[in-house]
Amino acid sequence: MTNYDDPILTIDVVLFALMENHLCVLLPKRQTQPFLDQPALIGGYIHTQEDKDTHAAAMRVLQNKIGIKTPYLEQLALFSGRERDPRGWSATLAYISMVHITHIDKMKSDFYPVDDLPKILAFDHSAIVHWAVKRIRSKSEYSTLPMFVMPTEFTLTELQHVYETMMGKTIDKATFRYKIRELDVVKPTGRMSNPKITNTRPARLYQAIDTKLRLKQWNKSMGS
């Protein structure tokens, strides 16, 4: 069986977090060649001894590099070709992940707002990040994806702000609450927010009902 110069397969993770109402991506500067000192996605090689599959490899990278166990990890796409790495033909499998900012203690300064990214990233990481942002924005429209960056307790207004930040647009309050009620993904904790902080009427606190990603049924686009 001919060996066709097997290309190297790596994985990269586009890690999103919300900071001060901005959707941000982790892009620490590279410590090695090529693209030394340029901002890049976190990633690495697959350890076939250790990693059950690529998903496990991505989990390991997140655990080792920033010390988190993420509840959300989704395969984006494989990016490949002769040009993306100066060393030759290569392929990288990009994952999207998402955490609450309070779970991050190191490398906070390496997060960039998606609307103000560094102009040049290592490899083809600019294309990967743009693709990932598009996916996140779109998926926020019809799923419970934004729930993954909420703390354990939150108000509906806070949840709405997160949805708006991730979607990149504003939503009507009544419509938003109607949909959240319909999705049936949050339940009241019985507690209220502290009015002393906001100088205004306290809001009911809610918590997530489950940790799975839930999609709105859109099977209604062209079916009976």
Nearer to a second copy, 109 or 221 (CB): 221
Among positive and negative, which fits the CA dihedral 41, 45, 47, 48?
positive
Contact region with DNA (CB under 7 A), list: 39-47, 62-70, 112-120, 202-210: 202-210
Query: What six digits make up the tokens of 13?
Result: 């993770």
Q: Report d(CA 69, CA 128) in Å as an integer.
A: 22
Q: Which is nearer to a second copy, 175 or 200 (CB)?
A: 175
Residues that bind a second copy in the complex, under the rule CB under 8 A: 2, 4-9, 45-49, 52-54, 75, 77-78, 80-82, 88-89, 91, 93, 138, 140-142, 163, 167, 169-172, 175-176, 179, 216, 218-219, 221-224
> Could you tell me the smallest distance in angstroms from the CB atom of residue 135 to DNA?
20
Tell me which residues in 118-147 interact with DNA (CB under 7 A). none
For residue 10, give the nearest of 88, 82, 90 by alpha carbon: 90
Please state, in angstroms and as integers, the Cα–Cα distance from residue 100 to each residue in 18, 152, 218, 221, following that order: 7, 10, 28, 33
Give the footprint of DNA on residues 178-197 (CB under 7 A): 178-179, 182, 192, 195-196
Q: Which of 42, 57, 156, 162 binds DNA (CB under 7 A)?
A: 156
25 C-beta neighbours (distance < 10 Å), count: 23
3-state secondary structure of 22: strand
Which lies closer to a second copy via its Cβ, residue 160 or residue 193?
A: 160
Among 38, 54, 155, 207, binds DNA (CB under 7 A): 155
d(CA 208, CA 189): 10
Which tokens in the block code for residue 59?
């989990």
Q: 68 to each of 53, 73, 77, 97, 165, how far by Cα in Å?
A: 19, 12, 22, 11, 23
* Contact indicator for 95, 76 with CB cutoff of 8 Å: yes
Q: Which is nearer to a second copy, 109 or 224 (CB)?
A: 224
Q: Any contact of residue 151 with DNA (CB under 7 A)? A: no
Query: Is the Cβ–Cβ distance between 10 and 43 less than 8 Å?
Result: yes
Per-residue b or e along 175-186, where b marks 16 or more CB atoms closer than 10 Å to that residue's CB = ebeeebeeeebb
Task: Out of 68, 73, 77, 203, point to the residue binding DNA (CB under 7 A).
Answer: 203
Tell me how far, at minimum, the Cβ of 159 lies from DNA, in Å.
10
Smallest CA-to-CA distance from 127 within 94, 97, 90, 168 is with 94
- Closest distance of CB 66 from a second copy, Å: 20
Q: Report the residue from 3, 6, 82, 223 that binds DNA according to the rule CB under 7 A.
A: 223
196's contact among DNA, a second copy, none, with CB below 5 to 8 A by partner kind, is: DNA
- Applying CB under 7 A, the residues found at the interface with DNA are 155-157, 172-175, 177-179, 182, 192, 195-196, 198-204, 216, 220-224
